[in-house]
Each structure stands twice: as C-alpha cells, then as structure tokens.
Amino acid sequence: MSQRIVIDPVTRIEGHAKISIFLDEAGEVSDARFHVVEFRGFEKFCEGRPISEMAGITARICGICPISHILASAKTGDDVLTVEIPPTAVKLRRIMNLGQFTQSHALSFFHLSSPDFLLGWDSDPAARNVFGLIAKNPELARAGIRLRQFGQEVIELLGGKKIHPAWAVPGGVREPLTKEAHTHILDRLPEARATAVLALNMFKKMLDGTREESENFGKFRSLFIGLVSREGALWEHYDGVLRVVDSDGNILVDDLDPRRYSEIIGEVVEPFSYLKSPYYKPMGYPQGMYRVGPLARLNVCTRIGTPLADAELAEYRQRVGSGGIVTSSFMYHYARLVEIMAALERIGMLLHEPDILSTRVRSGGSINKLEGVGVSEAPRGTLFHHYHVDENGLIKKVNLIVATGNNNIAMNRTVKQIAQHYIKSVKDGQIPEGLLNRVEGGIRCYDPCLSCSTHAYGQMPMQVSVIDAAGNVLAQRTRD
Amino acid sequence: MTTGHEPEAQRGALVIGYGNTLRGDDGTGPFVARALETRVPAGTRVLDAHQLTPEMAIAISTAKRVVFVDAVDAPDESAPRVSRLEPKPGADPLNPHASDPGSLLWLARTLFGGAPEAWLVAIPGADFGFGETLSPGAARASADAIAQIEDLLART
C-alpha cells in the first residue's frame, strides 16, 4: 500500500531564499522572517551507518566547507574511540582547516561580496556581478582566484582532492604530508599573504563609504560564541574551549569543555523554516540570540598569536569596535580578511614544526564510549557533531549544530533591521530593487551555507513578501 | 593523475573531466579523465573534478590545448558530441554551479592572459539518478570518447 508524505508548509520555494516582512497596523515593519527552504535530513539518515563512514557522509552536507564536517566528525570519532591522536595528525588537521578558512573566506569576500562593495548596492543587478567586478578591478579578481586556489591546493595536497576528501578519520589522518607538498605550500605563502594585505587595504579604504550599511546590516547587541585556546584564550579554529561574551565584552562562560555544549545551547524549531534556531540556554529563546563565525571569533579571543594578524586585529577593533566588541554584522567581511591573514600565518608556523613530515599520523582504537562530541570552528562558525553509537559503532542518534544555524536568530534580526530601515512604505505595492540588494547583502554578511542556492553570485534567487497586519500580501517580488 | 598544482608554465595539453560521480551518468567526465590518466601523451595534464572551478582558469591559460569532458542528458543518443569552444562570458565563471567551459576560457583569457584552442566532448547519458556506475550506453559512449580525445590530443 502506498503512502503519501506531505511536507508542510507547501509554500516553500525550492532554491530561493524566502523572506517575509510583516507590517503592523500603522504600516511599519514589525517583523521579518528568513525562511530556509531546504530539507536535508542528514541527522536522520545517518542512523544505522558505521561511525567510520560519518566523516565521508557528513562532508557531503556542503561543497564549500566539507572539511569542517570531516574534522568535526573525525574528532567525534576520536572521542568515541577515546584516543589521543598523534601530534603530527593534529597539526595536519589544523593546516587543512586553515586551508579551508582561506579558500572559503576568499570565495566569500572576493567572489561573492566584492561586487557589492565595488559596484554599489544600487547599481544595476545586471552589472553587479563578477563581470562587473572583473571590469572594475581585474587585479583584485585575479588575486582572489589565486588565493582561493592556494587554499584549495592546501586541502588537495593533504587530502588528495579539493572537495570531500575522506582524509581525516577517527584516530588521525590517512596520509602524512609529503616533502613536495610541504615545499609547494611554503613557496606560495608569500603571494597569499600579499593578497590578504591587498584586500585588507581595499576594505579599510572603503569603510568610510559604508557607514549606512555598517549601521543597518545587523548592528545590534547579542552574545558571541566561539572556541578559544585553552591557554591565553587565543584565536582558535580546531580545538580549545568554548567562550561566551556579550556586547560589552563581559565573559559569561569561559573554559567550557565543548563536550558540554548542550548545557549552554538549546535549539528551537520554528514552523517557518527548516533551519533550527539555536540559542543560549540561560537567557532563553529568543533572548539568547548569539552570533558565531569570524565576527564572534574575533570578539571572544584575546588575540590571535601571530604578528601580522594581531596587528590587523588591533586596528580592526579600534576602527570598528571602539577598541572593544564589534557588533555590526557588516563587519563579518572585515573579520574574514583578518582571519585569512591569521590562517596564512598559522599555516606557515605549522609547516615549520619539526615533526610536520612525520609519518606517525594515526592512532588505533575501538569503540570505548557510546557517545562522542566533536567541535571545531568552520569558516562560518562553531560546528558541533554529537553521535550516539551502539557497541558495534553503528550510529543510533546524531545531532548536528552547523555554523550557519547558530546565526539563524541573528540573520532574522538582520533582515528585520534592514527592512525597517529601507522600507518606509509599500503602499504603492512595489518592493524596490535596492531593498532586495540590501537584504541579500545583509544575509551575505553571514556567508550562510544554507544551500548552494544562496551561494549564487551577484544576485541571490529570492522571494520577498510584504504582509500587512491582517495577513494580506501587499507586495511580492521574486527574482530568479 | 595530476592535481593542478604543477608548474604553471607548462605548455602541454589539458583534459578536464567533470561531473558528479554519485549521480550515475553524470560521472562520465571524471570516469573518462581517470581512464585517460595513463594514456595521454607526456606533458598532458588530466584533471578529474566535481565541478568547474574558477582557479582552473589559471591552468587553462597556460595550456597548449584544452579538452573539457562532460555528460549530457541525451538518452536517445549514443555517440559523443565533439564541438569546438570559444571564450564567451555567458555563465558566471566564478560560480562552480553555473560555470561553463566557454566562460572559463573567457576568464582565462581576461585575467590570466591566455585561452588556448578548446573542445568540449559531451557524452550522452540516460540515467542521472543516485549511483556510482555508468549506464551501459554511457559506458560505451565513454569508450568512444576516450578514443576521440586521444585523437584530439595527438593533433599537432
């Protein structure tokens, strides 16, 4: 007998970012919702699979940041096996993650966001794209491609391929670093650093011209969560402890073992989105809104621990955070560039470690715990993998809190703030193109990995609806 | 198999087989690339890729000749389509989901100073569902494509 499965709501539009803007009785924007329309189901269909397969399966969640899932999954496996992986394996995993930070941040800044910065929010969408970017600043476009190539090469040289390499495994990594790859990466580092400097200088020059975006693209108080190093609370991307700070810089949680994440993070499912809404438990939902990712990582750390990146961090804090916490999501872009510099310097440091070419890269082990947690920083923020397994290592239950999900409440808040600022009236039933561009730009600050559809370049497939207090759709605009 | 990080000054031919190896016949491009790995003339680079990515423009710009190998949804066809390509700014070449060979050639010429002669070998497929094997028809067409690509690479 056949079954009929109904997925509700049926109004969701596959492949589009769907946004609803609600007006009150006075016609003012009262709320906005950013609907995530994809349903992936990884947490469910991983059940029954061997834990050894989880890195390979969860890597398929994303083609941009598969390394994040591979590493978080491998760390979860380490926890289940209860093994301490060889020191060289830790360093190699770190290098791969830093390579991913470089390529992912380069993609976000140079390819996705630069057209907005260089061509303007009100420019013709037909020209506000990569072709416009190349015409306006070919040097930047060329440097961005080469920087992303560098990050991809780091991943490929370690993992054997650029996308979805099944290299990190519970207990370590499959292959050591070769001398040839070591030399190649070192040789290319100076050019990569020069590109980071180029982009930082460009962004700093245009800061004065982006005051309106800085003030309205997600500038609000919130908490910030991220990993920091166990000693000194330095910028961290792979291991360490969780720290929570507020917009005044107060440390609410410190030195928290990431395995205890569920003590501070809860998740709510909203009926309008497939993306869960994590929140800081002690404050409840939605007051416990927090942000993760580059902005948060630079807010929670004391410093980065490498000279060039620390100098950039100090300048960043002074320029856009009055010396302290940076609260505008527009500054995710700036933070990304500081992190590129941090990643490149860290790669260089790690490659000079005396044991970096060691072939002892994997520890053996068997199922020693029936539950494991692996936490790392993905380019977009803190990533949590949490598995329950049976005695044979088969998955019984999975919880994934992905980087973009952590920012869900903040993304909704950002869309609302932009709508409140840029929609003064829709009485004529028209939604201006400029609003679409800015909503898109506001979401893009977070570089969300909702689906590949949101990685569309230049313009994002999008449907925006404006709904009055009685529930009538006053205006709707769809852009494919 | 080369990985794309070899010296950029190399002037041999370049073969790029691309597609999703988890979606049946969409994997013909990588399948053909792997088969060619040990058969191509010395100095030829072979890339096996999930998608076309912008950084490929760097390798393309320094190649003597480029052959793109992709699948095409054409269940009623049996022979590979071989066509000459020209640089063309159509699809967004920075978007791996939208990029196409013509745009990538355009990117190579515009930003990296070279766009060599190029061909697209499109292999007809019939089954693009989940799976890691080729349909019988796509497997036969892939064998034909390998022979045709060897001919292209042998041209002086």
In chain B, the N- to C-terminal Cα span, in Å, equals 23
pLDDT at A16: 56
**Most confident segment among A268-277, A376-385, A443-452, B47-56:** A376-385
Which residue in chain A has the smallest CA separation from B93? A130
* Run of H or E including A215: helix A211-216
pLDDT at A226: 98
Q: Rounded to the nearest 10 degrees, what angle do helices A87-106 and A138-159 cross at?
A: 150
Is the four-CA dihedral A443, A447, A452, A456 of positive or negative sign?
positive
Extended beta strands in A14-92, E state? 17-23, 29-35
Q: Are strands A462-467 and A395-401 parallel, antiparallel or unpaired?
A: unpaired
Angstroms from A426 CA to nearest CA on chain B: 33
> Helical H runs in A424-473?
433-444
| pLDDT interval class at B96 (50, 70, 90) | low
A60 exposure class (CB count in 10 Å sphere: 0-12, 13-18, 19+): middle
Residue to mutate among B1, B53, B55, B56, with most A CBs inside 10 A, is: B55
> What percent of chain A has pLDDT above 70?
88
From A21-25, A424-428, A434-438, the region with the lowest mean pLDDT: A424-428
* Run of H or E including B76: none
Which residue in chain A has the smallest CA separation from B7? A184
Between chains, do A63 and B51 touch, taking CB under 8 Å as contact?
yes
pLDDT per residue over A148-196, tens digit each?
999 999 999 998 865 566 789 999 999 999 999 999 999 999 999 999 9
pLDDT at B98: 67
| pLDDT interval class at A56 (50, 70, 90) | confident
Q: What is the distance between the alpha carbons of residues A329 and B145, in angstroms, rounded to a whole number?
A: 50
pTM for the whole thing?
Answer: 0.89
Between chains, do A145 and B96 touch, taking CB under 8 Å as contact?
no
Q: What is the distance between the alpha carbons of residues A62 and A69, in angstroms, rounded to a whole number?
A: 8
Of residues A39 and A260, more confidence is placed in A260
Rg of chain A over CA atoms, in angstroms? 22
Between chains, do B53 and A162 touch, taking CB under 8 Å as contact?
yes
Question: Taking CA B76 as the corner, what is the angle to CA B74 and CA B79, rounded to the nearest 5 degrees?
Answer: 75
Q: What is the distance between the alpha carbons of residues B45 and B42, in angstroms, rounded to a whole number?
A: 9
Check pLDDT > 90 for residue A443.
no
Helix (H, G, I), strand (E, B) or coil at A50: strand
From A370-374, A392-396, A473-477, B46-50, the region with the lowest mean pLDDT: A473-477
Q: Are strands A172-173 and A168-169 parallel, antiparallel or unpaired?
A: antiparallel
Which residue in chain B has the smallest CA separation from A456? B95
Q: What is the distance between the alpha carbons of residues A293 and A315, in angstroms, rounded to a whole number?
A: 19
CB A414 within 8 A of CB A426: no
- Segment A235-256 shows an average pLDDT of 97
Judged by a CB distance cut-off of 8 A, whether residue A156 touches chain B is yes
Which residue in chain A has the smallest CA separation from B108? A142
Q: What is the distance between the alpha carbons of residues A372 and A98, in angstroms, rounded to a whole number?
A: 24
Angstroms from A113 CA to nearest CA on chain B: 12
CB A34 within 8 A of CB A48: no
Q: What is the distance between the alpha carbons of residues A479 and A74, in angstroms, rounded to a whole number?
A: 40
| pLDDT interval class at B45 (50, 70, 90) | very high
From A136-140, A433-437, B64-68, the region with the lowest mean pLDDT: A433-437
The number of angstroms, rounded, from the C-alpha of B104 to the middle of its chain's C-alpha atoms is 11
- On the question of a cis peptide bond just before residue A294, with omega within 30 degrees of 0, the verdict is no
Check pLDDT > 90 for residue B30.
yes
pLDDT at A4: 36
Between chains, do B53 and A152 touch, taking CB under 8 Å as contact?
yes
Q: What is the distance between the alpha carbons of residues A66 and A45, in angstroms, rounded to a whole number?
A: 18
Check pLDDT > 50 for residue A304.
yes
Of residues A465 and A265, more confidence is placed in A265
From chain B, pick out residues whose CB is under 8 angstroms from the CB of A130: 92-95
Between chains, do B92 and A457 touch, taking CB under 8 Å as contact?
yes
- Segment A305-328 shows an average pLDDT of 96
Tokens of A311: 């100098």
Which residue in chain B has the smallest CA separation from A451? B97
Select from A326, A335, A289, A122 the least CA-distant residue to A215.
Answer: A326
- Segment A358-384 shows an average pLDDT of 95
Check pLDDT > 80 for residue A474.
no
pLDDT at A227: 98
The number of angstroms, rounded, from the C-alpha of A152 to the middle of its chain's C-alpha atoms is 17
| pLDDT interval class at A8 (50, 70, 90) | very low
From chain A, pick out residues whose CB is under 8 angstroms from the CB of B95: 111, 130, 455-457
Judged by a CB distance cut-off of 8 A, whether residue A129 touches chain B is yes
- On the question of a cis peptide bond just before residue B89, with omega within 30 degrees of 0, the verdict is no
DSSP state of A255: E
Q: What is the distance between the alpha carbons of residues A281 and A278, in angstroms, rounded to a whole number?
A: 9
pLDDT per residue over A70-90, tens digit each?
999 999 999 999 999 999 999
How confident is the prediction for chain A on average, in pLDDT?
87
> What percent of chain B has pLDDT above 70?
88
Check pLDDT > 50 for residue B1.
no
From chain B, pick out residues whose CB is under 8 angstroms from the CB of A142: 111-112
- Segment A142-146 shows an average pLDDT of 94
pLDDT per residue over B138-148, tens digit each?
999 999 999 99
